[in-house]
Structure 1
């Protein structure tokens, strides 16, 4: 009404009257639109961009919206990734199936997962290392005298609290010492926690790969070369762990 009154003051005499009084009459021969010379055309021009009724509706609808309403929606939060350390055992069903297909016994799989969880290490990483070290054979012995599931040499095992080398053939003892040693290396080389490894994937963390390399080549060599040593065996070992971890991670994340 204010806009129309501004354009056509004569309309005030038609629509506005004092209480109890009739509107004042217009001069004879004059209409409410008289005297504006082209105002109607200017009003039409202001609405020239409105091509149809739906456009007019949008014009008035959008006029009352705030800047925030036109702002892009915030990005969706990143999906929550289950932590293998605290996940229910049912989440490992596909992992166990995959490893059984590679010759691992359910007993050794269970012992490995349980010990990793007990020490708050990533079970998927420990499983990948057991596969690479001994292929889940509890009595495996290497040419340098490393023994058992996680292929600990007696001197390293002693540092981890195992004095009897033959005790390393006991899978519980071997896993306990092996995971302890892995955690010790992890604290010196890795810059992310075991819980964060599942999110980054081993292939995405150079520092985690240093810890894995140190398990194979020794921490002294990793420090000496400032990363994975240029030994073919160690580089192949790290690549194998990265590949196996990726496979186990995919199996773990596929479980409902």
Structure 2
């Protein structure tokens, strides 16, 4: 596990855009419909906690960790609220999604990879055609997070809950350890809770 932390730290120092060769795959009608419904849900993002105190504690802690990358307080808290909402809505751990964004784009809203993936979660444009429309702007923060979390949830379901393999699919590198290890390393070293402050519990995550 120490190797994962070291890898994560090296990549966070000078982070490239790491979207892989994710390929468009045919979706069944039921899956496509469910994903389209998820994308088109227009509910405003909000923190999803058992009580407001837990939400405030999470937001303060994560905001302090993200301050160097996003100095503006309003934009930083707006982004964190959206990440927490979209991740929770998709049944994903928000801290894991933070680690994924760190690896994918370094929190650069307008990042574009060499293969054309866009935005915070490096969403491939073909997903607009598959589950969205040309009107969806993948550089829009809310749209990008909605697409990214919906797509990763789809891959988790395909892999029957195996996050490690789902991350490989998300990056287009299924079967190769580098990308899943980087995301899991970023999750542990940067975004996981090391204690239970503010009523929050430590995050458990898979390892390889």
The TM-score bracket by the shorter chain reads 0.5 to 0.7
CA-based RMSD of the aligned residues comes to 2.5
Q: TM-score, normalised by structure 2?
A: 0.60
2:64 is aligned with 1:97: yes
Q: TM-score, normalised by structure 1?
A: 0.50
Q: Kindly tell me: are residues 130 and 91 of structure 1, through their superposed partners in 2, closer, same or farther at Cα, counting changes over 3 Å?
A: same
Q: Kindly tell me: are residues 253 and 213 of structure 1, through their superposed partners in 2, closer, same or farther at Cα, counting changes over 3 Å?
A: farther
- Which residue in the other structure is 1:110 paired with? 81
1:189 to partner: Cα distance = 1.1
1:118 to partner: Cα distance = 3.1
1:179 to partner: Cα distance = 0.6
Cα distance between partner residues in 1 of 2:160 and 2:64 = 29
Q: Kindly tell me: are residues 210 and 252 of structure 1, through their superposed partners in 2, closer, same or farther at Cα, counting changes over 3 Å?
A: farther
Q: How does 1:153-172 map to 2 (within 5 A)?
A: 153-164=124-135, 167-172=137-142
- Greater CA deviation, 105-114 or 140-149? 105-114
For structure 2, the residue ranges without an aligned partner over 5 or more in a row are 1-46, 200-208
| Bigger helix fraction | 1
What SS is found at the alignment partner of 1:214? helix
2:169 is aligned with 1:214: yes
1:150 to partner: Cα distance = 0.7
Cα distance between partner residues in 2 of 1:137 and 1:89 = 25
Structure index of larger Rg: 1
